[in-house]
């Protein structure tokens, strides 16, 4: 069944590993008449963007999808990155199992969509961790301050008109 793809000015698409870009000043349409590995601009992750465990997993999966001739290489990297992510974020176990099942069934495009869910999960986990660390830091006394004085209030070494004792 043919697939009609619309590309806006400047938009890129990958078809079977080839990057195509609409360089015209108009929108264009392409009709793909045979089976092909296709990724649109929004689904493409560059190597430079793959900096977190989930994004590295997605990138390896993307390569597995686009370059089936190198499946053995990309498959081992994908599995390693996925295992590392699950170890770092155990709450992702079900998501990772679903993702692995899709890969085992060779449903790689659907697996990429699940990989995007994993990246969203990672953002939530990192946000939660950042929030907890921030709360913990705000709740502990600054270095060198006793527990009772949490560093709030006037600067004891500040000017008298600022509420401090003043230093002469």
What are the tens digits of pLDDT across the range 115-125? 999 999 999 98
Instruction: Supply 121's token pair.
Output: 């999960």
| Cβ-Cβ contacts under 8 Å for 36 (sequence gap 6 or more) | 15, 16
pLDDT value of position 92: 93
Instruction: Supply 19's token pair.
Output: 């990057």
Q: Are residues 13 and 20 in contact, defined by beta-carbon separation less than 8 angstroms? A: yes
pLDDT band of residue 147 (cuts 50, 70, 90) is: low
pLDDT at residue 85 tops 80 = yes
pLDDT band of residue 162 (cuts 50, 70, 90) is: very low
pLDDT band of residue 134 (cuts 50, 70, 90) is: confident
pLDDT value of position 159: 43
pLDDT band of residue 144 (cuts 50, 70, 90) is: low
pLDDT at residue 152 tops 50 = no
pLDDT value of position 154: 43
């Amino acid at each position: 069944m043919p697939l009609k793809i619309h590309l806006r000015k400047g938009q890129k698409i990958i078809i079977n590993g080839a990057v195509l870009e609409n360089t015209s000043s108009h929108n264009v349409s392409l009709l793909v008449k045979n089976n092909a590995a296709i990724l649109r601009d929004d689904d493409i992750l560059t190597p430079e963007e793959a900096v977190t465990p989930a994004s590295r997993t997605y990138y390896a999966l993307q390569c597995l999808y686009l370059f089936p001739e190198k499946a053995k290489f990309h498959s081992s990297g994908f599995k390693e990155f996925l295992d590392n992510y699950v170890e770092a974020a155990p709450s992702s176990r079900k998501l990772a199992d679903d993702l692995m099942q899709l890969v085992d069934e060779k449903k790689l495009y659907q697996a990429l969509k699940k990989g995007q869910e994993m990246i969203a999960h990672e953002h939530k986990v990192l946000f939660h961790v950042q929030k907890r660390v921030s709360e913990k830091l705000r709740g502990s006394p600054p270095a060198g301050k006793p527990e009772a004085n949490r560093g709030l209030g006037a600067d004891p070494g500040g000017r008298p008109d600022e509420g401090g004792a003043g230093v002469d």
